[in-house]
A and B are shown apart, each in its own frame.
Chain A
Amino acid sequence: MRWFRFALLILAVTVLQKGLLARWSSKPDLLVILLVFFAIYYSTSDAIISSFTIGFAADLVGSPMPMGPQIISFGLFGTLLAYLHRVIAIKRMPYQALAIFVTSVLTGALTHLLAYITKGEPVAANIYIVVFVTSLYSSIVGPFLFLPTAWWMRIKMNRFGRR
């Protein structure tokens, strides 16, 4: 893992998510897309570290949501996905889209649940729709962003094995 490139990528995406995408009402969650990317294309140890780091970044820009729920949910589901990938290869684009969708729904649900349970954070009535729409957008955009991300992270193309 090229950690310096990883740090720059996460920083850029976090700023993009908070600055450029924040004013759109319906948008993909770029950090979830990266979470799935690192869980699929890196070793389990690297995937665990990157999942929690991405979760921390998501918490940093998650205001007014308290910090903590996203570190836990991203870390947990990123790790689970990395272990799942050892059993089931997620190489084709439709499967990647499905993985992004499921991960996004699960992280979104757990984040709001944790915030509600531990901090008493009120849950918006339309939260199911918001989580669903964000997951849908992420799953549509996500697989196409894997290629530029792989180029930036200097991953050899044969690691994809797409046919």
Chain B
Amino acid sequence: MARKQTKVSRRMLFTWFMLTGFIFLFAPQNLTSKFQLAFVHVFRWPLTIGGNLVMTAQTQQPLAGAASRSDTQYTNYIANLEETLAQERKKLKKLSGLYNTYVWEGTDYALADVITATVDGSRNELTIACRKTTGLAKGQFVLGDESIIGTISDIFPQISKAEVKLVTDPMSIMPVKVAEFKNVMKGSGNNSAKIEMVKNKVKVGESVFALKKPGFLDAPMIVGKVTECNRNQKNPSLWDITVVPACNIEQLEDVAVIIMNPQK
């Protein structure tokens, strides 16, 4: 017996699909984002291989005098130690004689592998696979090569995944300190961030530190380096600073999430 074929008109087809689209659009984002994470979770193997291939292709032979990744890591580590030391000295001076605990005492780190890195002009984010998810929370700072690279924007503990909004993301806003001036750093895409309306000129190469944030960061940590310092177009008495991350984010394979005062 010949099978009866159902014919759906093009108009009907279009209406159904549009309806599906609108259902996805108006569904709660925490529900629909699970589809996106599920895709990354299922295809994590080819996605990681793809990312690694790009990293291999982008890795150039180091030029004489150019800093390698481990050099960058040590430089950032030293910069952090110096800043911590300066802060500790300041505290010691202020509270001389009183007991003080070391700033990083009791801090826990959640190590995570980078699955995908989206670094385009409009969005800069990482999807990471955490080896442990206990204590993870939105807003926690993420370290790459001993420098702050972003904050946790979403967590999916069921599949041990999290998303990291990078400091270079156009939606990222972070209080920072550069050459004793406190200001706000905004991501501008394309692997850079901006600090606008700074009162004094800042030297190129100066380190930029993320400011302390109670419960998230107990000591300033390096975020990036100043690459440009130009006069503000609207107000020439002020300066606009361009900052690049202190490490090569595109080359990162693993990161660490800072968990302050973890639950024992």
Residues of A that sit less than 8 Å from B by CB: 14-16, 18-27, 44-45, 48-49, 52, 55, 59-69, 71-72, 75-76, 79, 114, 118-119, 122, 124-127, 129-130, 133-134
B47 and A18 within 8 A (CB): yes
A25 x B125 contact (CB < 8 A): no
Q: In the bound complex, do residue A26 and residue B121 qualify as a contact, i.e. CB atoms below 8 Å apart?
A: yes
Q: Are A64 and B50 in contact (CB under 8 A)?
A: no
**From residue A81, how far is it (CB to closest CB) to chain B in Å?**
13
Once the chains bind, are A72 and B189 in contact (CB under 8 Å)? no
- Specify which of A44, A63, A66 is in contact with B125 (CB 8 Å cutoff): A63
22 CB < 8 A contacts A-B: A18-B39, A18-B40, A19-B46, A19-B47, A19-B48, A20-B53, A22-B119, A23-B55, A24-B120, A48-B13, A60-B36, A72-B18, A72-B21, A72-B25, A75-B18, A118-B25, A118-B26, A124-B122, A124-B189, A126-B121, A133-B121, A134-B120
Cα–Cα, bound, A113→B120 (Å): 18
In the complex, chain A residues whose CB is within 8 Å of the CB of B75: none
Q: Which of A25, A49, A71, A129 contacts B119 (CB 8 A)?
A: A25
Q: Chain B binding site: helix, strand, loop or mixed by DSSP?
A: helix
Given known A-B contacts A61-B39, A126-B170, A130-B122, A52 and B17 have beta carbons under 8 A apart: yes
Question: Is residue B99 contacting chain A, with contact meaning CB distance below 8 A?
Answer: no
Report the minimal beta-carbon distance from B50 to chain A, rounded to whole angstroms: 3
Tell whether, in the assembled complex, residue B36 and residue A67 are in contact, meaning their CB atoms are under 8 Å apart. yes
Which residues of B are at the interface with A, using a C-beta cutoff of 8 A?
Answer: 8, 10, 13-14, 17-18, 20-27, 29, 32-33, 35-37, 39-40, 43, 46-51, 53-55, 58, 116-123, 125, 127, 153-154, 163, 165, 170-171, 188-191, 250
- Further pairs besides A61-B39, A66-B32, A68-B22: 10, Cβ < 8 Å: A23-B55, A24-B119, A63-B36, A63-B125, A67-B29, A67-B35, A68-B24, A71-B21, A127-B121, A129-B121
A59: contacting residue among B24, B26, B170, CB under 8 A: B24
Partner among B27, B120, B154 whose Cβ is within 8 Å of the Cβ of A68: B27
In contact, A126 and B188 (Cβ under 8 angstroms): yes
Count of A-B contacts with CB under 8 A? 158
A119 to B30, CA, bound (A): 12
Chain A residues closer than 8 Å to B116, beta-carbon distance: 18-19, 22
Is B10 touching A15 in the complex (CB atoms < 8 A)? no
A67 and B50 contact, CB distance less than 8 A: no
Chain A, Cβ-Cβ closest to B249: A23
Distance of A23 Cα from B121 Cα, bound (Å): 11
Q: Looking at the complex, which one of B22, B125, B170 makes contact with A125 (CB distance below 8 Å)?
A: B170
A75 touches B165 (CB 8 A): no
Q: Are A63 and B121 in contact (CB under 8 A)?
A: no
* Chain A neighbourhood of B24, CB < 8 A: 59, 67-68, 71
Closest A-B pairs by Cβ, 6 of them: A19-B50, A68-B25, A124-B170, A130-B121, A20-B50, A71-B21
In Å, the complex CA distance between A22 and B47 comes to 10
Complex Cα–Cα for A52 and B127 (A): 26
Interface centre among B21, B24, B35, B171 (most CB of A within 10 A): B21
User: Are B10 and A44 in contact, CB atoms less than 8 angstroms apart?
Assistant: yes
Q: Which residues of A contact B163 (CB under 8 A)?
A: 63-64
